[in-house]
Structure formats: C-alpha cells, structure tokens
Amino acid sequence: MLVDRGNLVQALVHKFGGQATTSERSKALLGGKGANLAEMAAIGLPVPPGFTLATPVCAAYYANGRAFDDGLRAQVAAGIAHIEGLTGRRFGDAANPLLVSVRSGARVSMPGMMDTVLNLGLNDASVEGLAAGSGDARFAWDSYRRFIQIYADVVLGLPHSDFEDALEIAKEDRDYTLDTEMTAQDWRALVGEYKAIVAAALGRPFPEDVHEQLWGAIGAVFESWESDRARVYRRLNAIPAEWGTAVNVQAMVFGNMGDTSATGVAFTRDPATGTRQYYGEYLVNAQGEDVVAGLRTPHYLTRIAREAASAKPLSMEEAMPDAYSELARVFDRLEGHYRDMQDIEFTVERGKLWMLQTRSGKRTAKAALKIAVDMVGEGLISKEEAVLRVDARALDQLLHPTLDPQAARTVLTRALPASPGAASGSIVFDADTAALRANEGVILVRVETSPEDIHGMHAARGILTVRGGMTSHAAVVARGMGRPCVCGAGAIAIDMAARTMRIGDVTLREGDKITIDGASGEVMQGVIPTIEPELVGDFATLMQWADEVRHMRVRTNAETPADCRTARQFGAEGIGLCRTEHMFFDAARITDVRAMILAEDQAGREAALARLLPEQRSDFADIFRVMAGLPVTIRLLDPPLHEFLPQREGDFADVAAAAGVDVARLKHRAAELHEFNPMLGHRGCRLGITYPEIYSMQARAIFEAALDVAADGGEAPLPEVMIPLIATRRELDMLKAVVDDAAAAVFAERGQHIPYQVGTMIELPRAALMAGEIAESAQFFSFGTNDLTQTTLGVSRDDAARFLTQYVDKGILPADPFVTLDTQGVGQLIDLAATRGRATRRDIKLGICGEHGGDPASIDFCAKVGLDYVSASPYRVPIARLAAAQAALRAQN
C-alpha cells in the first residue's frame, strides 16, 4: 500500500514521557516495548523520556533502499528535542550532554534476537562534560568505552572479541581480575585502544558526530530484523517477517555510577515455577547489558532467594532497601494493571529508581499453568482468559520425562537452575556442531550463549553455560524453547582448542555424555534414567476448563496399546488414525507378509493372509479394549508392497531363507514391485482394488476383534473403517462392498452385530474436488493433510527440508506447510470438500488426522471450517485440547 511519505512519517514517530506521551497503545504499531513504555509513562511510573519509530518505518527502510528520508529525520529531531526538554540536557553538547539508548521492539518479545546500542551521544568532547557533570570521571570513561565497543560491534560490524581481548589484556597488564578495578585513567587509555582498533579495521576514525551515531544505530536495529538469528527465531515461533520491528530511542539512565547505582531484571512471579514471589537479579555499578548478556554473574533480588541459594553477596532487598521497596510497589502495580506476570528491566541511578521496560514475561509451561490458574483464584482473570493465556505449543514442555530421583548420579557441579527439565546427551561446544549432530542428542556447552547460537540451542536437548544468570540470554531463550538449561557454572573451564571441558579433576571431551537438571542446577556425568511426568493439579484444572468450552473432539493417532493408553491418559476421545501397516512390520509376522507378497496367485495370497488374520485380530482387540466405547478409525493397508521387501543387497539372502524362496526369485519380485514414484504409485486403495483379499482379511479382523471385546464384557468399540487414497467414488464403492461383505459374514457367523462406518481419507486434490459425489458413499471424511499437502503443493515432505527454510525466510510461504497447514491452498481444498460433503450428507463426520492435528494454528483453521474432530500423536493430545478450546473462545469474540 502506497502512502504519502510525509503523512506516513507524521504518524509513525511517537513520544513518551511527560504531557506529550502518545495516546497510541497498539503493539502492532509501536511494538511491545514502545507500547508498554508509553503505558508506564501514562500511569505515572518513572520512565526515562523517549520516542518510538513505529513498525511500518522498518518496511519503509527496506523499501527505500535502506535509506531515511528528510521527513523522518525531521520527526526524529523533534523527538530528540522532546527528550532534551524533559531532561535539561542537549544532544551533542560538550558541557551537558544527552545520551540515549537505541533499542528494538517487535510486537512480540524476541529476547536477544535484535540489536541494542547504549550510551549513544558520547564523543571526545562530551565525555569530558559527562565526567564533570557527574563528578565521576571513571563512570564517564567506562560509559564511553562501552559505547565504542557496542557501536563497533552492532553498527560497524567489527568483531566483539577484538574489544574483549583488548580489555582482558589491559586487566592482565595491570594485574586486575575484575572490570571494577579499572580506574578512570585505565578506561581513558582503553578508549584510545578501542578507537585505534576501529581506525585500523575500517580505515576511518570512529564517528564523533552524534547525529551520524544516531542514524547508524537506528539503521542497525532495523538491519537486525533480518539477521540470521532473528530469521531463525521468527521461523521457530511463527512470527511473520512483514511485521517488522519498532525502534525506541530513550534517555539514558546509569546503573554504573557507583555503589548507589545498579541495574537489574526481574519478574513479578517466578517464571520457572509460577510461584507468587518476586524473582530476579541485579548488579551494583553496572549497565543492563551486563545482566541480560550474562557478562557478569549477578546477585539475587530478594533475601529469601539469596538464603535459599546460600549465596554470600547481599540481595538488593538488603543492600538497597529503599529502592527495593519502591520496586516492589511498582511490581504490584504493573501486575495489577496488566493482569499478567511482568518481566521488568530497571535501573537505579544514585538511589533513584527508573523503569526501562515491562512486558508479559516469558515463562515455562509449568509456570504458565500455575500463573493462569492462580490468577483466576485471585480474581484477576476469568477461566476463559486463563485458557487463552497458556500457549498450547508450550504444553509440550510438560509432557516429557524428568530425572528419576532414585537413580544414582555423579554430580560434577551445581550452578543456577535456569530452565526446568532434564536432558542427557553428547557434549558439543558450538552451535554449528550442535545443529550438525542433533540426531544423536547433544548438550550445548558454552561460556555464554549469544543470539548467534539460536540454531544450536534449538537443536540441542539442553544448554549449559559457564557464565550468566537466570535472566541471561541462555536462560530466557531456553525457557521459551522448553529446553533444560543450567547457567553460571563457573567451576567449568572450557578449552576450545582441545575441545574439552574440565570440572575439578574431571576432564570431558566433546562427545562424552553428561546430564543436566534445569530444576536443580546439577551437572552430572553420564546418562541418568528418567521418569514420566504426572499431569495433575494446575494442568488438570486448566484442561477441565478447556474441555468445558471447546467444541471439536480430540482423538489420537495410535496403533499400539501403549500409545493408546498414553493418549487416553492425556484425554484422547478415540483414535483418528490407526495405521495398520505398522503392525505388518512386526518381526513375528513379517515373514507371512512377505509370503503374501511373493505368492503367485490369489490362493497363495489368501493362505498367507489366513496366517496373518489371528495376529491382526489380536492387534485390533488390544486397541479396542483400551478405547472401549470410543470411535476407532482404522486405515486399511496404505504403503506400496515393495516397502516390506529388503532394500539392501546384503538383506536378500536372509529374507530369502526366512521366506523359503531363492534369492533370485526374491530379487525378481522386488524388481517387479519397484516404482519410480511410490508415493503416487501402487498404494492405498489401489492395492485393495488389485488385491481385495488384503482388505477383506483386515476388515474381518476388525469385526471379529470388536465382537470378541464385546463378548468379553468390555464396552463395544465403534469401528470406523477408512479406505486410503481414494480419488473416485467408484474406488470407494468397490472397496466398501469388500468391507460390508466381510462385516456381514462375521456378523452371520457370530450371530451378533455392532454399528460401524466406512469412510475415506481425503488426501488427493481430486478427492477434495469430488467430495460431494464421494460423500454419497462415505460416512466420514478424514483429511490426511500430510499427503494432501504433498499432492497439492507438488512437494515431497522427505525432500522439502532442502529448500523450505529459504521459502519461509524469503516470504514465499508463511510457514513450513508440513508443520502448519497451508490455509490458502490446502485449506481451501479442505473447506471446499467439507462444504460439498455436507451438502450431500448432512451428518457426515469430518476430521483431520495428519500431523497438523497437533498444531495450534492448524487446529484454529479446522475449527473455522467446522470439522468435528482433530487427531494428534499421543503426546500432542493436550496441545490439541487446549488449542481447540482457544479456537472456540476466539470465535466468540
């Protein structure tokens, strides 16, 4: 959409602080940080003044060739004047300089993914004014070196390590251990070294002009929206690229002005457990990046937390009681105002508290459940709001094993429990190796993580860092991903050259196994056994509330009794997909399956199938017992027959011997069955048309098993026989007749009858288009979205990983269509098929059984189309239950 550029700019620079605070609160426009800064300023909290460049400026920046026009520059100048007026300082003034921070602010939190610049506005002249005005030369020169270091990294693109190395050498030369030992003269000298590094690398001096500094930083923040780490984070969290980021320019306040100054990050409730107690960390004489980036290990916020950890350094509650008391009042006010747990960044400058940010805090799934349920009890939110508050995808964190408390363990060290859960895996020391070796299960061990590590953190089972606290980058990102994380393990020494880590007298190499427990902070040698989680208490309460409001039923995809029991425990209301081919691969029956394939005539096939019948009947009976009284959709044999024959040369002799045939005959049959594109070949209903005796045996096994279970006193199951890969009504009619004949024969033999249905999977575009005609014979449709996505997009799911990531990054597709349903293309076919099917048969049952049945965004679409149920893998059943409830609530609003 083209908009007059002057008018666009007028609407997209918004001030906060004082009477000029914008009335705009849209996070889509101002970003989450900008909207919340304006809100805090409006309710009278101490917020340093500033202004926000709204999110559409990000798109305009890229559309205009990464340039800023004069209209925008004028509005930014007005914003600077606004800050100057409220602070009494002047931007670029040598005597009384205004310093600002430049930060990102997307509409949803992306912790650590984009860039920040602090102390902007310092140069060789203004640093002297800052020193004189503050009466603290050390503080002024420390701030200047910090600015050069972060600006050189973020804006100029120079390696951060060059400056860290220079700092370490400076400390070593002076026999210092801590940064705080550096004097004003030491920092002044280091500033000279930093500027020399810049000049040597770029062939030009570090910029002295403060306006050049400002526009460089604004551009760098917009650039960071398209950084590799931001793209990865957006892809993992389904954040559209077109949203863009806002930029917040705000007056600096300083936590590094001596022992009466501090900076910190805090949560109004524990983000790991949800307990209603203040949780956070702070550092005296530091700036915010020291805490967030994990550059120094911080101290506890409260006395209770410090004592629980047996830590010696005083908590903020003890060291700064007045500032802490004011902070506690702000905590309560913000949580009451936003009616949600808040994540807060603050600074204390010479005893005065300043609020730099508030946002709804990221939390573990366990904490999300507890906070939501507790806030209902506290009268802050309703049950319906509680259901909407919990990210359905995050429930996955609760559904996996934790360490067995009875198991023996060798604890190597204890550190900060940054993200709950436990994980075992092979040690790796960098993100690339973690991604490369993800399939074997790895623990990413780093001195500290940075946003560039995002792909490795996602690939790892757990994360362990030497430095950083419970609000460091590693901790925040790990909690958001549901990865166990232990931080601040200072007892670990990593040797990157040797690819080893040492803890005391124990040396471990890359590839050695360790276990971390993010709930206790323990790091253990080897692999520790685990136990299944217990889903009670807050989980059960929220699931009950969800079930009260959802309309869609939730089934499971399962074909073993164990999976069925797991799914029932998680609340499954039947089976939406039982894949019978998985039963055929069982070692005890694969020989008979191969005998059936190798048979030269129908009689030979039927003889082999007769041997399979008792096994198949037993399989179904076991499932029916677990799913007593619930619908069970059984898909008849789907994959091509060659999949049951050996694929590798070395296996032919063993299989031939087991089958009682010679190798030559086996190879000949395998060659006959070979297909160039088996996904579109002789499979599904096409097998049933060619070899109806296969489907007849399976149908007989289903009905005999159902009657056996009913005769044993169990509640009769509700079998739904599903014919796969139907493209025409004629195919379904022919195979429905096979099923009906088997049912009639079994019922006549047993003298009993049970209700059953016959339907089909809609997994071909033609079937979707012809749904009205197919529904004349089908009693239900189950949308097989895995294959429907493949056949609609013409993309192989097994090969798509090579290019789909780029398709998402480049905006060709909004998300991986095999993870989240392509609602525009595949979704249109589902909608059309549902409409046409219902027009023919009003009571036709409609469901979805692909992997999308466990994806919240896809479930939302299914609700809009009006499907009767979704079916998901057992461990995703709770996710589907909650997502279905959320879809129903959103439809009401």
Q: In what side-by-side order are the strands of the sheet with 299-300?
A: 299-300, 279-284, 262-267, 342-349, 352-360
Of 473, 487, 564, 862, catalytic: 473
Return d(Cα 287, Cα 348) in angstroms, integer.
10
- Give the other-Cβ count within 10 Å of 546's Cβ: 27
Active site (annotated) includes residue 849: yes
**Distance between CA atoms of residues 339 and 381, nearest Å:** 7
**Catalytic option among 58, 564, 685, 849:** 849
- CB-CB neighbours of 625 under 10 Å: 17
CA distances from 550 to 821, 838, 863, 886, 891 (A): 20, 21, 10, 7, 11
CA distance 527 to 533: 18
Which residues, 6 or more positions from 688, have their beta carbon under 8 angstroms from its beta carbon? 636, 637, 694, 695, 723, 734, 735, 738
473 is catalytic: yes
Amino acid 617 reads R
Rounded Cα–Cα distance for residues 511 and 513 (Å): 6
C-alpha 484: how far from chain center? 13
- Which phi-psi region, left, alpha or beta, contains residue 88 (left: φ > 0; alpha: ψ -120 to 50)? left
DSSP state of 387: H
- Residue in 390, 333, 335 with CA at minimum distance from that of residue 367: 390
Which whole-number Å values give the CA distances from 93 to 84, 151, 209, in the listed order? 11, 20, 11
Spatial separation of the C-alpha atoms in residues 449 and 323, rounded to whole Å: 31
Cα dihedral value 498, 500, 503, 508, nearest 10? -130
Tell me the β-bridge partners of 315.
Answer: none
Q: Quick one: which of 78, 119, 147 has its CA closest to 253? A: 119
Buried (b) or exposed (e) across 424-460, using 16+ Cβ within 10 A?
bbbbbbbbebbbebbeebbbbbbbbbbbebbbbbbbb
Q: Which residues are registered as beta bridge partners of 758?
A: 721
The continuous run of DSSP H or E covering 561 comes out as helix 561-569
Structure tokens at 274: 């949800």
Q: What is the DSSP string of 19-75?
A: GG--S---HHHHHHHHHHHHHHHHTT-----EEEE-THHHHHHHHTTS---HHHHHH
Q: Which residues belong to the active site?
A: 473, 849
